[in-house]
Amino acid sequence: MTTKDLAPLAVNVLDATVHYGPVQALDRASLQLVQGTVCGLVGMNGSGKSTLFKTIMGQIKPDTGTVQVGGTDPLQARKSGKLAYVPQSEAVDWSFPISVRDVVMTGRYGQMGFSRRAKKKDHEAVNEALERVELTEYAHRQIGQLSGGQKKRAFVARCIAQGASIMLLDEPFAGVDKRSEATITTLLREIADEGGSVLISTHDLQALPELADEAVLLMRKVLMHGPPEVVLKAENLAMAFGLDPMKRDAS
Read off the pLDDT of each residue in 221-243 and give the average, rounded to a whole number: 89
Length of the chain: 251
Read off the pLDDT of each residue in 60-65 and give the average, rounded to a whole number: 95
pLDDT(45) > 80? yes
Domain boundaries defined on the chain: 1-77+210-244
Question: Which backbone phi and psi does 142 adopt, to 5 degrees?
Answer: -65, 135
The DSSP bridge pattern shows strands 9-20 and 83-86 to be: unpaired
Sequence-separated (6 or more) residues with CB below 8 Å from residue 133 = 153, 154, 156, 157, 160, 183, 184, 187
Read off the pLDDT of each residue in 33-57 and give the average, rounded to a whole number: 94
- List, for residues 162-201, the tens digit of each pLDDT value: 999 999 999 888 888 888 888 889 999 999 999 999 999 9
Does the reported pTM lie above 0.75? yes
Q: Do residues 138 and 146 lie in contact, with contact meaning Cβ atoms separated by under 8 Å?
A: yes
- List, for residues 10-30, the tens digit of each pLDDT value: 999 999 999 999 999 999 999
Percent of the chain with pLDDT over 70: 93
How confident is the model at residue 48, as a pLDDT? Answer: 94
In eight-state DSSP terms, residue 67 is: E
pLDDT(242) > 90? no
Find how far residue 152's CA is from the centre of its chain.
11
How confident is the model at residue 247, as a pLDDT? Answer: 46
How confident is the model at residue 111, as a pLDDT? Answer: 80
Domain 1-77+210-244 has CATH 3.40.50.10130: no
The DSSP bridge pattern shows strands 221-226 and 166-170 to be: unpaired
